[in-house]
A = this chain, B = another copy of it.
């Protein structure tokens, strides 16, 4: 299984991307972890190191894919 991590902050844009894209990945290939950065603040650093600049974002094989724009990581850090 490949690992995919969906980072979000519970925002409406995040929820839409989660349903339409993150939940649409092939379950035979991907194990998708959903991380709410507003709640799991200790994982913000990990997201930043993967190149995440805003949420919602999907990290697949170490590469960050920003899906539309909900909030910047700076806003999530608040």
Contacts and interface: CB of A to CB of B under 8 A. Distances in A.
Contacts of A66: 67-68
Contacts of A20: 60-61, 63, 65
Interface centre among A4, A58, A61, A68 (most CB of B within 10 A): A68
B68 A21 contact: no
Contacts of A27: 26
Interface string A13-41: 00011001100111111100000000000
Nearest to A20: B60
A61 B23 CA distance: 14
Interface in A44-65: 58, 60-61, 63-65
